[in-house]
Chain A
């Protein structure tokens, strides 16, 4: 296949960027999207030019490293896949493909298609965990979990933190991401002790990172490579509302050890 690419090139975080046109004459439909970029980069390097920088790691859709806006759609036209799992057979010979990085205040461009997604890490660090006592793990069967809860929790836990939800959201909101984490932990018994504090802290951090607010466009759900449902946003809001009402001062005066 012969393709024309319009790729966002930006040398660094502070520099201006622009779309640059590249010819890709030697692409086969069996290549993944990232392999297609590898081929283009190979030629750029041989020509002594700077290759296109893009994030990638596992290339099997589970790490969340890759991700770019492809023809105006996060992760491209194939639903429920990350960019690495998108194959060139989704395109036709002669196509022009526009490629640009996730755009959000919270995701500053590092270079070309690479953005800094540490904001998502900081949301996790603010409360997306459980505090478990050390020692031997107890028998898993000793903690009964309803099938439906386990299923919903696992669906939310599938989030790979790629940031496509933020990228696709017209408001640049991280509600699907944060909601997924809150749902994943909030449905399991292990997540209960910190459930409401978690909702408060993670939502506060999400706001601090300058993500926009959710207006339920639904674009995030469509963009998510793991098909995470906007139901998680309702659950986040519910937990946050209950948490805001139940909130009490943390007591740490000469307390329990």
Chain B
């Protein structure tokens, strides 16, 4: 098991931990996004899906939460450590420095990541714990006696700053994935030599799908498609 220490102590190992936990996150957001899109089928569909997750699938959901919380904690811890190492690697800044090929996505990984962390906490408080309750919808049930997440979605996204916060956060999620989904594969060493190593069609597809899939929900409420 010495290899775990070897990995943890090296910058590459820390990046590997970030890549693996990041890819777990990618898998999760894709599944979460598909779940969310049921909002367009209707209130019954979405609320009974929620009831299924909190009812018969409860243990499974908790197992998944343990994995996800562990992944997020490790991801953040490694990002914190590596950022400090990188800052220490260049304490004196350049007078002039012009980025050549680095993408906006890659340059916003750190601050975008912080924003996403804040978003994740608020989002869980909003729809899972119902402690952050801008629409005053906590504890409401629908006709079938299920928690009325659909109603909460519609009411919350009618509040302009809630919708804006979600839409902005999802734009950053898309950027985060555009860089992360590509770079994690390279960090893990799976990438085959390529004439254009900076090209990333798969990551672009993942980022656009996730960004659109999540943004459609608040946007759907704002434009009145979901009511």
Contacts and interface: CB of A to CB of B under 8 A. Distances in A.
Interface of A: 6, 8, 19, 69, 71-73, 98, 100, 103-106, 152, 168, 170-173, 200, 203-204, 206-207, 210-219, 221-223, 229-231, 233-241, 244-245, 247
Given A105-B90, A216-B106, A98 B95 contact: yes
B10 interface: yes
A173 B107 contact: no
Contact of B12 (A106, A240, A245): A240
B170 interface: no
Interface residues of B, number: 46
A170 B198 contact: no
Scoring A200, A203, A218, A230 by chain B CB atoms within 10 A of each residue's CB, the highest score goes to A218
23 contacts: A100-B95, A103-B94, A105-B91, A170-B107, A171-B86, A203-B10, A212-B90, A213-B82, A214-B187, A217-B102, A218-B106, A218-B198, A219-B102, A221-B101, A234-B187, A234-B189, A234-B190, A234-B191, A237-B12, A237-B16, A237-B186, A240-B189, A244-B6
Given A105-B89, A216-B187, A231 B197 contact: yes
Contacts of A234: 186-187, 189-191
B89 A211 contact: yes
A78 to B, nearest CB: 12
B190 A173 contact: no
Contact of A207 (B10, B101, B186): B10
Nearest to B185: A234
Nearest to A17: B92
Nearest to B87: A212
B14 interface: yes
Tell me the dominant secondary structure on chain A's binding face: mixed
Given A72-B96, A213-B14, A244-B13, 17 more contacts: A19-B95, A98-B96, A104-B90, A170-B102, A210-B89, A212-B82, A213-B82, A214-B11, A215-B86, A215-B109, A237-B12, A237-B15, A237-B188, A244-B3, A245-B3, A247-B3, A247-B6
B90 A219 contact: no
Contacts of B12: 203, 213-214, 236-237, 240-241
A100 B88 contact: no
B100 interface: yes
Nearest to A70: B96
Interface in B2-22: 2-3, 6-7, 9-16
B10 to A, nearest CB: 6
A213 B17 CA distance: 13
A213 B86 contact: yes
A200 B89 contact: no
A220 B28 CA distance: 32
A221 B106 CA distance: 15
Contacts of A213: 11-12, 14-15, 82, 85-86
A214 B67 CA distance: 26
